[in-house]
Amino acid sequence: MTNKFTRRVAMALAASAALMTAAPAVAGDWKPQKPVEMVIMAGQGGGADRLARLFQSIIQKENLASMPILPVNKGGGSGAEALRYLKDKEGDNHVIMATLNSYYTTPLRTDIGVNIEEFTPVARMALDTFVLWVNADSEIETLDDFVAAVKASGGEWKMGGTGTGQEDSLVTAMLEKEFDIKVTYVPFKGGGDVAKNLVGGHIDSTVNNPSEQLGFYNAGKSRPIATFTPERLAAFPDTPTMTELGHSLVYDMQRSFVAPKGMDPAAVAYYTTMFEKLNDSEEWQTYTQEKSLNPDFLTGDDLQAYFLDERSKHADLLSSMNEGS
Amino acid sequence: MELLGHLAEGFSTSLSPLNLFIVILGVTAGLFIGAMPGLGSVNGVAIVLPMTFIVPPSSAIILLCAIYYGAMYGGAISSILLGIPGASTAVATTFDGRPMAQQGKAGLALIVAAVASFIGGTISVILFTLFAAPLADVALAFGPAEEFALVLLAFTTFVGLGGDDVLKTIIMICLGLALSTVGLDLISGQPRLIFFDEPGFYSGISFLVLAIGIYGVGEILYTIETSKSAPSVTPARLTFRDLWYGIKEVNKLWKTLSFGSFMGFFVGMLPAAGATPAALMSYGLSKLMSKKPETFGKGNIEGVASPETANNAASTGSLLPMLTLGIPGSPTTALLLGGMVMWGLVPGPMLFIEQPDFVWGLISSLYTANLAAVLVNLALIPLFVWALRMPFTVLCSLVLVLCIVGGFAPSQKMHDVWLIVGFGVVGYLMRKADYPMAPLVLALVLGPLMEKSFRQTLISEQGNVLAFIERPLSATFIALSAVFFLLPLLKYAKRAKRSEGVAGEPAE
């Protein structure tokens, strides 16, 4: 036991020492030669999009990259478009991709010829949270109201979210299972679109991330009902968690960056250092506070292990859902 | 009154020497970026974004908007001179702009495009100033059903049954719709129509690739065949008198222009639509309402003016949901949104209340950007026209190079280049067989939007098709589409009745 422990510590020390000495040298070796494309797996205006653009702006403002970062939205087909694109970019040192959970769910659900194990993990920036929202004009104030209203609608309750099989639909399926309710799930291209349709009264509820709905919440147009988090969120101190209400529904979304297969290790080191600095920036730390994000930084092999672990969890989740419906 | 006060304060920001300089710089850069096929306002804004840290935030946003504006003006330039739309928003401008250039009236077409853009831009900025806050609610009222009805309207106004061969038009629309389904399904993420298992098809067929293939390569082939060695364009001259003549000509089109401006603004305001459908609708409507619809597509001034007014009006319109709702209506406004986030401005319902200085500074700068854009554009027209004096052999190869580069640049895949060549050859053959190309392009642009909103509506309404006519806004649009679709038929029937009036009722 002790033996194993010390060996591990020694390895970790050695690794970090190697990183500390090697990383600057390696990072110094390689620099982007042209603008770096930041592929976003979702449409414009959604949580993933806003976050990716925030990262881009901090990188630019703090001068963390020697070349501009260009965000490109490839939100089609629940992120399949982006995954395919990244696959085609094998060996390209000037592409990184901002991921969300569809990074594993989409290849699981659809045969698009993408294996995420092949991609190069770069950095996990945060875990995003989910909240159940309704329009502020509706009479629903509590979770019980919500469940009663959905039951009364006889399956015609419109729950808006991102593409079928993506996070929002998984959370919706979890809700359906837990409360034995049936909703009509309407897929949109991104969380921004969903937010607008909720406020415009075209859908009845959504499980958008806080950052996607916050603008309308501040304007008094959306109401949070309950959160899918272990603890209450600082931004909504009066909104109970599902767990508090006696339902063990917890789900979060990773916000990470990956690179194509076969990216030069020096380039990977460059981007990893860049995101490390980004993670330390004050602006990012304040943002995570305000927007209820959990800034849980992770890189390299640990991140890959996390991805694969999450993939198998989602595989179970998806198959249990298919049995249900 | 309060509004005027805000605006005056805004002007005090936007008329400062630094901001004026920035506006002129921005529109000039935008003009050239927009004029390059394959490079659009998105690229321009993206490249400049990081450089804006040297100026204060409000000036930075003003610079980005000026580039956005300039690129809208610039899109028309390559549409007219080369017949290749510089951006999807300028595709309708090629329909009449290119024939005008071939008739040696490139200068006039450019003047008309610039002036029409100015009018469209200005009217919509005024609308923006007056109604920004209440109009945000209109944008919210648009759900999937309304979006579908609007796109349908865009289709019918453009196609109708008049003008070209009806059967051929329908064939081309179907072909365009089929091409628009290539790639990954928007809703389920399943791959569709992946020809030969070629991975390039997963990302679908981009509008730009089709347009460059058909209008660029196809046009070159066609011109080579028809003109052999003779120059394709009579060398265009441009004098001050031409300029005056152009402005007078535009003046006659006030009806088209004001209509195009209003419609462009409203369509642009809807988060899903944007400037491309606005320009196409405006073109279709002015053709429909014209007394001489047969002259459209053959170098009618109105055919240049109407889409150009509408696309500029729409570009202002699409700033509205971005600022008031935080929802960008187009890729470029998404970048602007990113820029605003960068400076700690949070677009959304609270922006007008929390950051009035910024908002009004920006709005007032749209007025100056518009004026600067039209002046810079008019001043540079002689330079653009001069480019056409090149010998045809040189121009032709230059255009082909531009086509290939423009097609390769956005995706950087050879797949797209081969598609361009393929579309060019097919387009050339179809043109020889007298198939209209515009409906094909239109269907590819609007098809995905239409499919998505149609399916979203059906999903949320439990498959009830009547949902489209049960909602007042969408019902109105659908009724209008029906009218526009049948209008040419009615016209035809009326004419037939008149001529057969002597011989009694028609058999039908």
DSSP secondary structure of A34-89? SPEEEEESS-TTSHHHHHHHHHHHHHHHTT--SS-EEEEE--TGGGHHHHHHHHHT
Report residue A151 as tokens: 């039951």
Q: d(Cα A228, Cα B232) in Å, to the nearest integer?
A: 66
User: For B183, phi and psi rounded to 5 degrees?
Assistant: 110, -155
Cβ(B250)–Cβ(B112) below 8 Å: yes
- Containing H/E element for B276? helix B275-289
Among A residues 151-170, those touching chain B with beta carbons less than 8 Å apart: 155-156, 158, 163-165
Q: d(Cα B109, Cα B104) in Å, to the nearest integer?
A: 10
CB neighbours of residue A195 within 10 Å: 32
In sequence order, which ranges of B36-143 are alpha helices (DSSP H)? 41-48, 57-81, 91-102, 106-141
Chain B contact set for A201 (CB, 8 A): 140, 143
**SS3 at position B437:** coil
Stretch A276-303: mean pLDDT: 88
User: For B209, phi and psi rounded to 5 degrees?
Assistant: -65, -45
- Containing H/E element for A134? strand A131-135
Cβ(B443)–Cβ(B175) below 8 Å: yes
- Containing H/E element for B183? strand B183-184
Residues in contact with B108: Cβ distance below 8 Å, sequence separation at least 6, in sequence order: B100, B242, B245, B246, B249, B301
Contact check, Cβ <8 Å, A165/B187: no
Report residue B178 as tokens: 């089929």
Q: How many CB pairs under 8 A join A and B?
A: 158
Please give the pLDDT value at position B299. Answer: 82
Query: Residue-wise pLDDT tens for chain B (508 aa)?
Result: 577 777 888 787 778 888 888 889 888 988 888 887 766 677 677 667 666 667 777 788 888 888 888 888 888 888 888 777 767 778 888 888 888 887 878 888 888 899 899 999 999 999 888 887 777 777 778 888 888 888 888 777 766 545 567 778 888 888 989 998 888 777 776 778 878 777 777 777 877 788 888 878 887 887 777 765 554 455 555 667 777 887 888 778 888 888 889 988 888 887 666 778 788 888 888 887 777 777 887 888 888 999 999 989 988 888 888 888 777 767 677 777 777 776 777 777 777 777 788 888 888 888 888 899 889 888 888 887 777 677 777 777 877 887 888 777 766 678 888 998 999 999 889 888 888 887 888 788 788 888 888 998 988 888 888 888 888 888 888 898 888 777 767 777 777 776 665 444 444 3
Cβ(B183)–Cβ(B191) below 8 Å: yes
Chain A contact set for B140 (CB, 8 A): 196, 199-201
Report residue B193 as tokens: 């129509």
**SS3 at position A63:** coil
Contact check, Cβ <8 Å, A71/B338: yes
Which among B116, B71, B119 has a CA at the least distance from the CA of B96? B116
Please give the pLDDT value at position A228. Answer: 92
Which among A248, A256, A272, A263 has a CA at the least distance from the CA of A306? A256
Closest-CA distance of chain A to residue B215, Å: 26
Residues in contact with A128: Cβ distance below 8 Å, sequence separation at least 6, in sequence order: A47, A51, A100, A209, A211, A252, A253, A254, A255, A293, A294
Cβ(A128)–Cβ(A227) below 8 Å: no
Q: d(Cα A37, Cα A229) in Å, to the nearest integer?
A: 33
User: C-alpha dihedral over B422, B424, B428, B433, to 10 degrees?
Assistant: 50
Cβ(B221)–Cβ(B424) below 8 Å: yes
Contact check, Cβ <8 Å, A192/B350: no
Cβ(B121)–Cβ(B311) below 8 Å: no
Q: d(Cα A275, Cα A55) in Å, to the nearest integer?
A: 9
Q: d(Cα A43, Cα A191) in Å, to the nearest integer?
A: 8
Q: d(Cα B305, Cα B247) in Å, to the nearest integer?
A: 11
The beta-carbon neighbor of B325 closest among A44, A81, A196 is A196
Please give the pLDDT value at position A121. Answer: 93
Check residue B160 and give left, alpha or beta (phi > 0: left; psi -120 to 50: alpha). Answer: left
Please give the pLDDT value at position B329. Answer: 66
Q: d(Cα B23, Cα A214) in Å, to the nearest integer?
A: 33
User: C-alpha dihedral over A121, A122, A124, A125, to 10 degrees?
Assistant: -160
Q: d(Cα B280, Cα B89) in Å, to the nearest integer?
A: 8
Q: Which residue has the tokens 């992120």?
A: A79
Chain A contact set for B190 (CB, 8 A): 77, 110
Q: d(Cα B303, Cα B97) in Å, to the nearest integer?
A: 7
Contact check, Cβ <8 Å, A187/B49: no
Which among A287, A198, A297 has a CA at the least distance from the CA of A234? A287
Closest-CA distance of chain B to residue A228, Å: 24
HSE at residue B58, side-chain half, CA atoms within 13 A, is: 22
* DSSP at B36: S
Q: Is the model more confident about B422 or about A164? A: B422
Please give the pLDDT value at position A241. Answer: 93
User: If you count them, how many residues does chain B have?
Assistant: 508
Tell me the Cα Rg of chain A: 21
**SS3 at position A128:** strand
Among B residues 115-144, those touching chain A with beta carbons less than 8 Å apart: 139-144
Q: d(Cα A114, Cα A106) in Å, to the nearest integer?
A: 9
Cβ(B212)–Cβ(B89) below 8 Å: no
Cβ(A134)–Cβ(A223) below 8 Å: yes
Q: d(Cα B109, Cα B300) in Å, to the nearest integer?
A: 9
Closest-CA distance of chain A to residue B278, Å: 20
Contact check, Cβ <8 Å, A80/B140: no
Name residue A68's amino acid.
Answer: P
Please give the pLDDT value at position B508. Answer: 38
User: For A190, phi and psi rounded to 5 degrees?
Assistant: -165, 165
CB neighbours of residue B16 within 10 Å: 14
Whole-structure pTM value: 0.75
In the predicted model, is pLDDT for residue A24 greater than 50?
Answer: no
Residues A47-59 have pLDDT tens digits of 787 788 888 888 8
Please give the pLDDT value at position B272. Answer: 61
Burial class (CB in 10 A: 0-12, 13-18, 19+), A285: exposed
CA dist B182 → A262, B107, B199 (Å)? 29, 39, 12
Closest-CA distance of chain A to residue B185, Å: 5
Q: d(Cα A79, Cα B415) in Å, to the nearest integer?
A: 21
**SS3 at position A224:** strand
Question: Which of A11-15, A77-81, A231-235, B245-249 has the lowest average pLDDT?
Answer: A11-15
Chain A contact set for B348 (CB, 8 A): 215-216, 218-219
Chain B contact set for A70 (CB, 8 A): 46-47
Question: Which of A89-93, A98-102, B198-202, B473-477 has the lowest average pLDDT?
Answer: B198-202
Contact check, Cβ <8 Å, B349/A215: yes
Check residue A246 and give left, alpha or beta (phi > 0: left; psi -120 to 50: alpha). Answer: left
In the predicted model, is pLDDT for residue A97 greater than 90?
Answer: yes
Check residue B188 and give left, alpha or beta (phi > 0: left; psi -120 to 50: alpha). Answer: alpha
In whole numbers, what is the pLDDT of chain A averaged over residues?
84
Burial class (CB in 10 A: 0-12, 13-18, 19+), A166: buried
Side by side, the strands of the sheet bearing A120-128 are A69-73, A36-40, A95-99, A253-259, A120-128, A298-299
Q: d(Cα B182, Cα B190) in Å, to the nearest integer?
A: 11
Please give the pLDDT value at position A18. Answer: 45
User: For B184, phi and psi rounded to 5 degrees?
Assistant: -95, 135
Contact check, Cβ <8 Å, B188/A77: yes
